[in-house]
Amino acid sequence: MTEQHTAPAETSPQPAPAPAAPVAPTPADAPPKDRRKLFAVLRWSAAVLVFAAAGSGAAYGLLQPERTDLPGLATLDDGRWEYPAPARPTLPPGAPLPFAKDNEDGTHYAGLTQLLLPPPKGSVPDPGLKLEKDSVVTVDTLMEEYEGTARAKLKEGLVNEGLRQIVGRGWTTPDGTRTRVYLLRFHSSGFADTFAGCGADMNLNGVNRIEVDEVWGKVKVDQKAPDTTGVTVMEESAPVGDEQVRAACVQSGDVQAVILQTRKGAVPAVPLHQTVILQHQLLG
Is 210 among the domain residues? yes
Residue 8 confidence (pLDDT): 40
SS3 236: strand
Is 14 among the domain residues? no
Q: How many CA atoms lie less than 13 Å away from 187 in the CB half-sphere?
A: 7
Domain enclosing residue 276, as ranges: 105-282
Residue 261 parent element (H or E): strand 255-264
SS3 269: helix
Residue 224 confidence (pLDDT): 62
Residue 161 confidence (pLDDT): 86
* Number of compact structural domains in the chain: 1
pTM, two decimal places: 0.75
Distance separating alpha carbons of residues 90 and 208, to the nearest angstrom:
41
Q: How many CA atoms lie less than 13 Å away from 132 in the CB half-sphere?
A: 10
Is 67 among the domain residues? no
Is 90 among the domain residues? no
Residue 226 confidence (pLDDT): 65
- Are the beta carbons of 139 and 155 closer than 8 angstroms? yes
pLDDT, tens digit only, all 284 positions of the chain? 444 444 444 444 444 444 444 444 433 333 333 333 333 333 433 333 333 222 222 222 222 333 334 343 334 467 889 999 877 788 999 999 999 999 999 999 999 999 999 999 999 999 999 999 999 999 999 999 999 999 999 999 998 889 999 999 999 999 999 999 999 999 999 999 999 999 988 999 999 899 999 888 887 777 666 678 889 999 998 888 889 999 999 999 999 999 999 999 999 999 999 999 999 999 98
- The domain that contains 272 carries what CATH number? 3.40.1000
- Are the beta carbons of 276 and 231 closer than 8 angstroms? yes
Is 205 among the domain residues? yes
Is 243 among the domain residues? yes
